[in-house]
Each structure stands twice: as C-alpha cells, then as structure tokens.
Structure 1
Amino acid sequence: MSVLAKRKLDELEDSDDEEPMLGRQVLPVANLPDSFDGVPTDGMQYLFTVRRDARLLPHVTRVDNPYATPEVPVAGPEPGPSEPKPHSDVLPSEEWRTTFLRRFKNFRKNSVQPTIHVRIPDASSKIMPDKKERDLWWAFLAGRPESEWNPPKKPKQPKVTRWQQRNAKKGAGAIAFADDLHENASLSYDAPENGGVEAGPSNTSSEVQGDALTSDTAQSLPTPSGTPAPPDVSADVSMASEPDAGTVGSAPPVCVPREPTPMLMQHIDHRYAIHLLMYFTHWINLHLDSPTLPMTDITQTHARWMFTLLSRVDDWISSDETSLLRNLARACISLMAARRRSHTAENESPEEGESVKIMDDTSCWMIISAITGMWGQTDLWMDAEASLTEAMDAT
C-alpha cells in the first residue's frame, strides 16, 4: 500500500464527515473537540457524542467464564436416624440409567454384526421349538432333552368322506344280517324234531366251547376296579414295572438351562423376539399368581434371555408391540413388589441345595431400563416408584 493511500485511509477513519464503509453518512454531525463534556443542544452535537463514545468501546467483548472456578456444593441437612427413607431411593439413579442405556445400545449394534467361527446347524435338524409352542419353549429353556421339546409329530388321520361313511353303514347292516342268519341256524340245529336226542354230542362240544369262551371273556371284561389291558401290553407293563438292579438308587439327570448363544439368536428376528417376550410376561404372571406351583420360578437364565431378545427388537415398533413390552416391564415391577411384600431375599433358591438363582432386582431394572429408554416409555418409572413404595409401606 502506498503512503498516499494509507494517509487517505487514516483521514477517513478520523473524519466525522466521511463514513469508510456502508456508504456516506446521511445525517450531519457537529465538529466539536473530543474533550467536549457539555449537554448536547441539538441533534448534530448528540450524534457527535454518540460517535465519540462508540469509538471508545472495544471491538471484542469477553464474558467471564462461570465454570472457571468450581462451585462448592452446599451441604444439605443430613437425615436423622428416625426420619423415613425417601421413596426416590427405590429407583435406580439417573447416572446408572444413562450408563446402562448407552451400553445397551452398543450391545444391540454389536449383536447384529456377523460372527465368525459359529457352527451352522444342519437344515434337517431342529435347534429350537416352534414359535407357537409355549410349553415346549419352557422345557427348552430349562435344558430338558430334545425328546421333550421336539416330540415326534403324530401322523394325520385320513379324512373320512361321505361315500366311505355310507359304505361303512351298509357294511354294518350286512354284518348284522349275517349274524341274524347264523343265530337262527344255530337255534334250528340245537332243537331237532326228536327232542334233541340226536344232538347230544354236538351239545356237549358246544357247551365245552361255550364254557371256555365264557371264562376267557370274563377275564377280559372291564370290572369296577379297572379295565384290563391286552395281553401283550400287560406283559410289557409288568416287565417295565420291575425295578432294574442297575438303576435302583441312581440320581435323576441334571438339566443345564440353555443360554441365548449367538448360534440360537441368529435364527430369531424382530417378530420372533416379540413373540417370545410375550411368553416371558405370561410366565412371570403365572409365577405371581401361583408362587408355590413347582417349575414356575423365573431364573437368571430367563433374565439373560429377555435381555438378549430385547436387543433383537427394532427401533421402531407398532402400538401393539409397544403394549407387549410395557406388559413385560410391569410384570418385572410386580415381581419386585411381590418380593418386597413377602420379604424374600434375592437369589434365594426354591429348594435347599439348588444351584439355580432366581431373577434378582438388578436384572429386573435392566429389563425395565431397556424398555423405557429405547422405546420412550418413561412413564413406567412413575408406575415402578408407586408400586414399590406401596409394597414397602405395606410391610
């Protein structure tokens, strides 16, 4: 930049008559010294003071950082020993919910990634029960053998047509007519014209056959005490009822519950997962209605299945599917409330010496937090607080 151009630019910055940018000024400004401190008498003097004060202001303004110095938290009054425990403590903390939800989202992303070194099952073999077999799924999760959760299908009976029904009726009529003819013939043979003298040997043989038939029939007829089985079945039952010397005193087989492995989960999609979660809601409610009923305990293995199945549910679900998930969360809340009413300790086994652990409160909170956080059902926290508070107050 030349010296002349720089001098003109300095004159424009110092001049009140010219505006260096946005065109020329419109209103006239008084030409007063910078030391002017009187009261403006007209508009030109007022504009002079405004422009002078604007030149004194800084071009950049900095605001003090409010977080530069950490604030000292104000210590609140500590509750006394006789004060009741606040009801908000029955729910997990906000920090725990946020951390769990972040990790659950990461788990959902990782669970759908392709996995290597996973054995692909044979297409002809069955690895799990059908979707609509609820009782078979309970046996499958409990670790029962395949013969219980995959029983052989019964052969379908052929459908009887009307033509076959009519032929069957005609055949029954013909058999009845032949029996009548045979009965009439035997009567005429047993009662000859000479008074039955010639029929002596025949009568004797027929009586012997009749006695033998009567004795055999009497043994096979049903009695008030029970109906006898066929000879071959009776023999098999009698042989099966005899205890084997090698099996006497042997312990029953131990069933190991099945875990939700990646090989099994790759065959379960969104709709399948929703259907199985509906089964878990039914099983929890069944346990709450009949807690003393055997084989209805909800274990930690069931909790892991519910957690894994929730990872297979899509981000966007319908209203009916949302209702099913809300029912599952409410069932977990009811399970914790029932445990507080009955003063049942967590991880308490139904029988002494049993290694199966009951679904604890932490697992219930994980299921509830996943449903409330992933699918926006935050109002369930209020339901949980109300139910658990009522259960604690009742005790």
Structure 2
Amino acid sequence: MSSTHKRKRDELEDSDEEPSFGRQILPVANLPENYNGPITDGLQYLFTVRRDARRLPHVVRVANPYEVPDVPPPLKDVAPHPSLPSESWRTVFQRRFRNFRKNFAQPTIHIRLPEKKLKQKLMPDKNERDLWWEFIAGRPEAVWNPPKKPKQGKGKGNKGKGMRAFSDDSMDYGDARDSGVLKAQADDGDVVLMYDEADISVGPVHPPVSAATSVTLPTPMGTPPRHEEGEISDTPAEAFTPREPTPALLNRIDHRLAIHLLMYFTNWMNHHLRHTEQFSNRLTEVHARWMFALLSRVDDHVDADDMSLLRNLARACIGLLKDRKWKKVFLAQAGVGGQDEVGPDSIVQEAMSERSCWIVIAAIVYVWAQRDLWQDAEAMLQDFIAQ
C-alpha cells in the first residue's frame, strides 16, 4: 500500500468512546445516555443503535433443554459437642488474653530500672530439658542446678608424682549457694523468687548409709536418675511443692526461651500419651499454667519454624483431650468416677484438665490465627461421638 493512501495521525477523529467492532465513520448525534425522545434524523438513529449495542452481551449461550437445576444439598444441623467451648467464651478469652499479653509486656505501674544480674541462678539453662522438669516439679536447687564437675587435665598434672594412699586435692566443689538462704525481696512489692532453708538441705557428697540416718532431700550425687522411656518407677515420689511461673521468672524469659520451653512441653505431652501408665511423667495443672504464661512471652509475629512448634503444642493438647475423653469413658464403665488419675497410695493427682487444654488451644488458634486447629479439635470430638 502506497503512502498516499495512508491517513495522517492528526487526521484521525478523536473519540472518547470505548473501542467497538468497527471504526466510526458516519457522524453520530451527541445525546444524553438516557435519551428517549423521537428520532428525527440519521444521527440520532445511529446514537440509539450504538447505545443499545453496548448494553447487549458480547457472548450469548443457547438455553440447554436438558439442563437440570443444581439444587445444593441441605446443610446438616450438627449440634456442637458439649465439651466444645462456646462462641461467647472464645470471644471473651481472646480479648482478655490479648490484653494480658499487652499488660505484661508494657506495665503501667511499678516501672523501674532493670535489676542487675544476680549471681544466684534462678532457673536451669536453656538446653537442660530434664533439669527443667525437675525445676518445675519443685525439686531443690541441688537437683536442678548441680555443681559443675571440675575440669581434669590430660595427664600433665600427674607427672612426677608417686603413688599415695590419699589425695592432696581437698577442694570443695560445693557452691556457696548451698550453704546459705536466698531471700530476694524487692522494695516495690514485686513478686520475686524466695527460697527457705527447708527447701535446700546441705549434706555430704557421699552420705553414710545407716539405719538411723534421717531422711533428707537428695543431693546431686544421691539423686536417682530419671527412668528411660518404657520403665515404670515402683518407688513412690517424694512430695514437693511445684514452682509456679512467677513474674520474677517470666521477666527473665524472652521469646526464644519461651519457644524452646514450649517445645519441651510438647515433648513431655507426647511422651505421656505414649506411656500413660507412668505416673511420674504425668502433666499437672502447674504445667498448664506454665504453658499459658510462656505463650504470653511469645511475639505476635513468628516465623514458620516457631509457628510449627506452636501448632505441634496445640496438636499435643488435642491428643491429651482425646486421652482424657477415653479415660472418662473407661472410668464410667468401670464404675469409678470423679478422679482423673489415681496414683500410688490412692492419692488423687492434679492432672492437667480438659479446661486447661482448651485454654492453650484457644490461645494459639486466636492469637496466631490458626483456625484450622480448632476445626481439627471439632473433628476429633465428632469422631469420638461416632465411635
């Protein structure tokens, strides 16, 4: 095509209308969109034709004579399980737990400068899982904070020495904390950790075995080792007052330590579900309060790894709920009621209740938006009814 037949760009007619199937060549009347008057000329006729064409669909489908209307199935009116917390309770709990987290993170009263680092150790190290179990169980400091073993040389110190019937090394590796009493009392009335003389007993490293020896708390060398998985201890456990998650302890727990400790609780619950016959590894209401308090120290926004740990904790609580349900049915069939767990000497143990499990699950579901876990809990209850 020669250039003489091409129209210049400035010769093209401007149009504010949307592109249509063909280019506008004939003039069209400029009338309002809702014009409904008589058509007097061709310009008005073209306007009405183009207006009606814009209102028509671009694609038209022929009606199917064999089409069957798709009627949705009726929704099943499934009554919620009586153990499932109500919607009103969940709403109130979500609001109050969020406020509790904010108030603990930003206290509005008793604001003070951070305390200096105490020489006294208030809790076990981060990676000591077994010592954390003993710490929460209320064991004395000699158990959860044993003295460190002395570093032995690689044989250099024994060179040039003859054999002797005794050792010249008479160092006492006992800590100064085992011989005194710790009483930390803040001036402003904050709750801090206090130990009494009755909590810690100081004795020789190797106590003499005698029939007249009085019963004392176990020392680091005399503490019996924890039983491996699958073993059941026949010796009755000593009575200790469990340690509560006090504000003095929680102030020293950050996000990373809280996540790490919650991972321990998940491991303990899974171990308890695998070996429910072991009363020494049961979870109590004190453990539930620790989980609730540690969840208040977790950040609002967590990464994928931390979220996976929180979800595992919620799933472990769902498994513990299922175990509690089956145990209730078994006790009801056996004619025994009103006891969750019965330990040695018919002592009723304060086991972690269903209410505590729901609190931990609701905290994870609503604070970190894991609604599918709540659906898993509902499905577990429905399966329990079906069975």
Q: TM-score, normalised by structure 2?
A: 0.56
What amino acid is the match of 1:331?
A: A
Read off the aligned partner of 1:304 and give its amino acid letter: R
1:356, CA displacement in angstroms? Answer: 4.6
Could you tell me how far 1:122 is from its partner in structure 2? 6.1
Query: In structure 1, what is the Cα distance between the partners aligned to 2:151 and 2:305?
Result: 35
Name 1:150's counterpart in structure 2: 145
Q: Name 2:22's counterpart in structure 1.
A: none
Following the alignment from structure 2 to structure 1, what is the Cα–Cα distance between the partners of residues 290 and 116?
20
Give secondary structure in 2 for the equivalent of 1:100. helix
- Identical residues among aligned pairs (%): 48
Change (3 A) 1:133 1:244: same
Aligned residue number for residue 89 of structure 2: 96
Aligned to 1:348: 340
RMSD: 3.7
Check if 1:112 corresponds to 2:105. Answer: yes
TM-score of the superposed pair, with normalisation by structure 1 = 0.55
Mapped to 1, the partners of 2:237 and 2:315 lie a distance apart of: 37
> Could you tell me which residue of structure 2 aligns to residue 373 of structure 1?
366
Task: Give the superposition deviation at 1:342.
Answer: 2.3
CA contact (8 A) 2:317 2:357 kept: yes
Per the alignment, residue 74 of structure 1 pairs with none
Letter in 1 for 2:100: F
Shift of 1:243: 1.1
Shift of 1:347: 6.1
Secondary structure of 1:243's match? coil
Q: Which residue of 2 aligns with 1:141?
A: 136
Structure 2 regions of 5+ residues with no counterpart?
1-29, 40-76, 161-203, 217-235, 332-336
Q: Residue 241 in 1 paired to residue 209 in 2?
A: yes
What is the distance in 2 between the residues matched to 1:42 and 1:359? 84
Structure 1 residue 138: Cα displacement: 0.4
Q: Give how far 1:358 is off.
A: 1.1
3-state SS in 2 of match to 1:342: helix
Any conservation in 2 of the 1:341–1:392 contact (CA below 8 Å)? no
Tell me the matched-pair count. 247
Whether the aligned pair in 2 keeps the contact of 1:143 and 1:257 (CA below 8 Å) is yes
Selected match of 1:275 from 253, 260, 275: 260
Decide whether aligned partners of structure 1 residues 238 and 381 sit closer, same or farther in structure 2, where only a CA change above 3 A counts.
Answer: closer
Instruction: Look up the match of 1:128.
Output: 123
The answer for the alignment partner of 1:327 in structure 2 is 312
Larger RCO, structure (CA 8 Å, separation 6 or more): 1
Q: Look up the match of 2:290.
A: 305
Distance 2:79 2:358 in 1: 19
**Deviation at 1:123?**
1.5
Aligned residue type for 1:384: A
**1:1-395 correspondence runs (5 A):** 86-114=79-107, 116=110, 123-159=118-154, 240-244=208-212, 254-343=239-328, 348-351=340-343, 354=347, 356-394=349-387
Distance 1:110 1:88 in 2: 34
- In 1, distance between residues paired with 2:205 and 2:124? 31
Contact between 1:338 and 1:391, CA under 8 Å: does it hold in 2? Answer: no
- Separation in 2, partners of 1:279, 1:237: 30
Structure 2 Cα separation of the partners of residues 353 and 271 of structure 1: 40
CA distance in 2, matches of 1:245, 1:124: 33
Name which one, 1 or 2, has greater alpha-carbon Rg: 1
1:125 & 1:238 partners in 2: Cα distance?
25
In structure 2, what is the equivalent of residue 68 of structure 1?
none
- Once residues 252 and 90 of structure 1 are traced to their aligned partners in structure 2, the CA distance between those partners, rounded to angstroms, is 33
Q: More deviation in 334-343 or 324-333?
A: 334-343
Q: 1:239 to 1:378 in 2, by over 3 A?
A: closer
SS at match of 1:105: helix
SS at match of 2:280: coil
Relative distance call for 1:109 and 1:238 in structure 2 (3 A) is: closer
Distance in 1 (alpha carbons) for counterparts of 2:207 and 2:298: 53
Q: Counterpart of 2:352 in 1: which secondary structure?
A: coil
What whole-Å deviation, never above 9, does each CA across 1:65-93 have from its counterpart, x for those lacking one?
Answer: xxxxxxxxxxxxxxxxxxx9835444222
Matching residue's letter, 1:124: K
CA shift for structure 1 position 365: 0.7
Deviations 1:258-310 (A, max 9, x none): 11110000000000000000000001111100011131111111111100100
